[in-house]
Amino acid sequence: MTYGIQRGIQFRILSEADLQRIHAGTLHILETVGIRVDSDASRKLLKANGADVDDRTRIVKFPARLVEEALARKSTSITLAARDPKYDAKLDGNQSYITANGNGAVTIDFETGKRRPSTKKDVADTSRIIDYLPNVHIHWPMVSSMDQHPSTVHLHDLDASLNHTQKHVMYETGVTLKDAKALTEMGYLAAGGEKEFRRRPITSCLQCTFAPLQLDAGVMDASLYFAEAGVPLVFFGMPQPGATGPATLVGSLVVGNAEVLAALTIVQLHAPGAAVIYGMGNAPLDMKTTVRSGGSPEHALSSAMATELAHWYKMPSCVGVSATAKVPGDQAVLEYYTGLVGPLMAGADLMCGIGLLEDSATLYYEQIVVDDEIAGAIARLVRGEWADDDTLALDVIEKVGPGKNFLAQRHTMAHLKTEHFMPTLIDRRAYDSWAADGSKSLVDRARDKTKWILANHTVPPLDADVQKRLRAVIEREQAPHEQAVVA
């Protein structure tokens, strides 16, 4: 059975001429305005390869040839491998995959309903939920282990994730060279060694660029290490139309594109053929509230256009979705459906990331389950339909004839679950049946399902020796900070 969302239909927003114009405009910005590159190592690399580098201002102007050469060097085959190979996400243009959202700092306690800082147990619990759900294909530590030592929160997040899901784990916490080395070491341990990880990378790192037109020193130093170590990278631009990018969606796409292509160029100069995924999450600034409007139509449009541009570059896309709703319910459903359907219809390879509210800040366990249902409905939509001998069913129609029904036909039973979306939360019963069963809302049913998953779903643990060695990495990285406090 194919893993991921099968693509059958696809719409287009940008024409070939539009894409060429965006690319040409991006090269113009890179050559004439440039990018502020705060990484000394990256600037040195660029200067050695003919870029115009001003070390005082840290502005680098990129010759078009460097960018074009980087696009030619990039990896053309990327698989985000999983601990269990049945969950491998093959970014070959045939399937789309949903990822969880990541690194929220607040959890609504599932038992008490009270707001509190997130914990490592929350990371572990949500990892198990993601492991169970059929329409969330790639895991991301959804919250941070705020109950652990501040110096190693990101390592505890990865530890809890690797131990509680067999799906691929993506993180965005490798923002210094030191972080990158420890996170990579943990990935190697969980995969069975460096050689096996390079063959089947079970973790990857999403790196955000800084709008407008900036690349952070720690992020780029870490990215150079990740690329050389065989860790797949997502460079994710996030200009906000109207704030850190032009108000026009295409204008902000140019800003984000310049950042992503600049990062790609640096990495390909350092490690030719490194696995890089094209990422973008341009949600506009809501001028009434000054809040990022995740889940808006403009967010979905921007993500769809970024997907088309990524595919034009022959790169897999990773685009964003989020919700500004404060609680699970009607607004959250509307925002997540709006944010998901456009990019998936455009063929997004990775849709990142469901399950958090308040613009990716707050975890409600049950929201993950609601979003899984939304993704399942959209999966049926984008799969589309086709006409062949089996789907036309002429022989069945002839057999049943006028005035009868198709309920008892083998053809019906054979196709019911594959042809029709089978919801687990949406209630299609008559009113009396629904009322007699407690008049439960969609969120109520999501809570019930979440309770069941937490009570019943188990994940095969990593080997005891691997668990011990993961803990040893965390203890080693934490020790200098504890010693400094004592001193």
| pLDDT tens digits for range 153-206 | 999 999 999 999 999 999 999 999 999 999 999 999 999 999 999 999 999 999
Rounded to whole angstroms, how far apart are CA atoms 261 and 388?
43
When pLDDT is cut at 50, 70 and 90, the band that residue 143 belongs to is very high
Rounded to whole angstroms, how far apart are CA atoms 364 and 328?
7
Rounded to whole angstroms, how far apart are CA atoms 304 and 308?
6
- Structural tokens at position 365: 């366990």
Rounded to whole angstroms, how far apart are CA atoms 386 and 58?
54
Q: What is the pLDDT of residues 86-116, one digit of tens each?
A: 999 999 999 999 999 999 999 999 999 999 9
Residue 320 scores a pLDDT above 60: yes
For the chain, percent of residues with pLDDT exceeding 70: 99
Rounded to whole angstroms, how far apart are CA atoms 195 and 426?
45
Residue 10 scores a pLDDT above 90: no
**Can you tell me the mean pLDDT for 312-327?**
96
Q: What is the pLDDT of residues 366-382, one digit of tens each?
A: 999 999 999 999 999 99
Identify residue 230 by its one-letter amino acid code.
G
Rounded to whole angstroms, how far apart are CA atoms 310 and 23?
11
Asked if 346 contacts 13 with a C-beta cutoff of 8 angstroms, the reply is yes
Q: Classify residue 149 as exposed, middle or buried by CB count within 10 Å of its CB (0-12, 13-18, 19+).
A: middle
Q: In this predicted structure, what is the pLDDT of residue 197?
A: 98
Q: In this predicted structure, what is the pLDDT of residue 223?
A: 98
When pLDDT is cut at 50, 70 and 90, the band that residue 270 belongs to is very high
C-alpha of 344 from chain center: 13
Q: In this predicted structure, what is the pLDDT of residue 484?
A: 63
Identify residue 429 by its one-letter amino acid code.
R
Q: In this predicted structure, what is the pLDDT of residue 315?
A: 97
> For residue 171, what are the β-bridge partners?
205
When pLDDT is cut at 50, 70 and 90, the band that residue 486 belongs to is very low
**Can you tell me the mean pLDDT for 59-83?**
96
Nearest to 281 by CA among 234, 314, 328: 234
Asked if 416 contacts 76 with a C-beta cutoff of 8 angstroms, the reply is no
Residue 46 scores a pLDDT above 80: yes
Residue 483 scores a pLDDT above 90: no
Nearest to 35 by CA among 255, 249, 204: 255
Rounded to whole angstroms, how far apart are CA atoms 172 and 166?
19
Residue 487 scores a pLDDT above 70: no
Residue 22 scores a pLDDT above 60: yes
Rounded to whole angstroms, how far apart are CA atoms 372 and 100?
10
Rounded to whole angstroms, how far apart are CA atoms 458 and 369?
17
DSSP 360: T
Which backbone phi and psi does 293 adopt, to 5 degrees?
-95, 70
Between residues 248 and 484, which one has the greater pLDDT?
Answer: 248
pTM for the structure as a whole: 0.95
Rounded to whole angstroms, how far apart are CA atoms 127 and 164?
5
Which of 74-78, 298-302, 461-465 is the least confident region?
74-78
